[in-house]
Structure 1
Amino acid sequence: MKTINIGGVPEHFNLAWYLTLKNGEYKDEGINLRWKDYFGGTGEMCKALREGEIDLAVILTEGIIKDIIAGNPSKIVQTFVQSPLIWGIHVANNSKYQNIEDIKGTKAAISRFGSGSHLMAYINAQNNNWDIDKDLDFEVIKNLDGALKGLNNGVGDYFMWEKFTTKPYVDKGIFRRIDECPTPWPCFVIAVRDEFLEHNKEDVKTILDIVNNTTVEFKDIPSIDKTISNRYNQKLEDVQEWLSLTEWSQELIDENTLSVVQDKLFDLEIIPKKVNYNTLVSKI
């Protein structure tokens, strides 16, 4: 049986992977798929792909595009979640900051440079007509736990993370959400290391086929809202709202969408150049 390593964030978006693993669907095809949670998010997974710690990653679109252009020897093989990610913009509950204008020029707490929380701070700044050079500053806090501990102790002033993941902490009065910032593109893609893909294309195709069979009918799984609510400690009504907003994909990300992402990242000087479509993707 071939062992294949995959990474992703420990969030509700990835429940389909857990379900298919639990059902033994990969082992039935001779694949020992080993899932690793990456609490540090996209920046941590980019590093893991580069170092061969994992073979595949379920990763934020903008983050992996930036890292492939920066030399990560990987390719996008599929869009995983078609809908945008809705980033909540959070401050400590006792913070003096009440709105977006209040946090202009303050420190964004980010998991690491190159992560979604880092890149989306630029998108948010542009959306609000801030001066990118003067009004953005960063404090690395590693992950959500780092933000939970740090923000209330003055480590960073605001923190951007997926709004439904952080909603329980808003409800508990640890964070206060002052605004939202959706990604202008599909939020999650599946990326594979070039070296692994070259020798294991059929296995990658098998893995994609299995998870796609689950995501295509994910919302029709009996009591899926209750399962998510219990597993991720979220209110049922929040899960139901999230399900209504979320669409999965079983297709390769298209050239136009990648152009939109690259144009935005280049405009914000996050990437030094734009590359052609085939530099970023591989069709399985």
Structure 2
Amino acid sequence: MKTVKIIGVPEHFNFPWHLAMEEGAFEERGIDLQWTDVPEGTGKMCQMLQEGSADLAIILTEGIVKSVVEGNPVKIVQKYIESPLLWGIHVGAKSKYKDIKDLKNTKAAISRYGSGSHLMAYVHAQNNQWNTQKLEFEVIHNLDGAVTALTQGTADYFMWEHFTTKPLVDQGVFRRIGDCPTPWPCFVIAATDQFLMAHRNTLGHILEVINLYTEEFKSIPSIDRNLSNAYEQKLEDIKEWLSITAWSQSQLHANTLLEVQEKLKALGLIEKVVPKEKILY
């Protein structure tokens, strides 16, 4: 049995992996897939891949591209989610800010530098023609940290996946004042160069299994109810999320990768655009 360490966020996007593991689909191929939830998100996962404490990650496209350009020995092996990620823009329930324009020159809560919440704050600022040089950040590590920061006023707004944060909006902890979709497919599967060199066949088996599950995922009977229960989300929210989410079974297109790199470079988040071979497996 080959042990493979895989990491991802504890969110509904990754339910196909847990389903496949529960049903023994990887074990049937001789693979002991060991999943670790990383609530801190993409910045932390990039660090874990670099340190070698994980072999594979389900990770945000823009975050892993930035990390690889900066020297992380990792490759994108496949797209995972084809559709954009819908980033909700949140303020504390008692915040004085009512509108997106009110957030100009205020402080954003981010899980860590290089994370999606950090990078998308730049995309959002550019969308609103704000000066991205003036962005300020408060590192809050995870969702609990964001609740504390927005409630106590150490940060002014927080960008996180719309449906993951919706229970906090429903409970009156956050107010959502807008959304910002990613301009590209949001999640990819990434692997360390070390893993790719040593276990190419194992990776092939893992991708075959997960692609079978994601192809059929939406047609599984009562999948919406299962997701609702597993992630403590309202059924109508899960149905809406499923309707706008598409999984992928193919590699990230070179043109899309170039678009991501050019956007990050224009925002001053990477210094150079590298050839696709440096990033794509």
Which AA in structure 2 matches 1:62? Answer: E
RMSD (Å) for aligned C-alpha atoms: 0.5
TM-score, normalisation: structure 1: 0.98
Alignment match, 1:4: 4
Alignment match, 1:80: 80
Alignment match, 1:185: 184
User: Which whole-Å deviations, capped at 9, do the CAs of 1:106-142 have from their partners, x for residues lacking one?
Assistant: 10000000000000000000000001112x1000000
Alignment match, 2:214: 215
Distance 1:151 1:23 in 2: 40
Quick check: 1:47 aligned with 2:31? no
Alignment match, 2:231: 232
Which AA in structure 1 matches 2:178? Answer: D
Alignment match, 2:173: 174
Alignment match, 1:143: 142
Quick check: 1:157 aligned with 2:159? no
Distance 1:99 1:263 in 2: 29
Distance 2:28 2:274 in 1: 39
Deviation of 1:97 (Å): 0.3
Alignment match, 1:131: 131
Secondary structure class of the residue paired with 2:78: strand
Distance 1:267 1:149 in 2: 32
Alignment match, 1:255: 254
TM-score, normalisation: structure 2: 0.99
Distance 2:232 2:152 in 1: 25
Deviation of 1:215 (Å): 0.2
Which AA in structure 2 matches 1:5? Answer: K
Deviation of 1:155 (Å): 2.1
Alignment match, 1:89: 89
Deviation of 1:170 (Å): 0.2
Unaligned segments of structure 1, at least 5 residues: none
Secondary structure class of the residue paired with 2:213: helix
Structure 1: 4+ residue segments shifted above 3 A:
none
Distance 1:143 1:66 in 2: 20
Distance 2:279 2:205 in 1: 21
Secondary structure class of the residue paired with 1:142: coil
Secondary structure class of the residue paired with 2:194: helix
Secondary structure class of the residue paired with 2:101: helix
Distance 2:242 2:2 in 1: 34
Distance 2:41 2:94 in 1: 26
May I ask how many residue pairs the two structures share in their alignment? 281
Secondary structure class of the residue paired with 1:88: strand
Secondary structure class of the residue paired with 1:217: helix
Alignment match, 2:98: 98
Distance 2:233 2:33 in 1: 27
User: Which whole-Å deviations, capped at 9, do the CAs of 1:226-259 have from their partners, x for residues lacking one?
Assistant: 0011111111111000000000000000101001
User: Which whole-Å deviations, capped at 9, do the CAs of 1:3-34 have from their partners, x for residues lacking one?
Assistant: 11000000000000000000111111111100
Alignment match, 1:26: 26
Distance 1:82 1:20 in 2: 20
Which AA in structure 1 matches 2:41? Answer: G
Alignment match, 2:276: 277
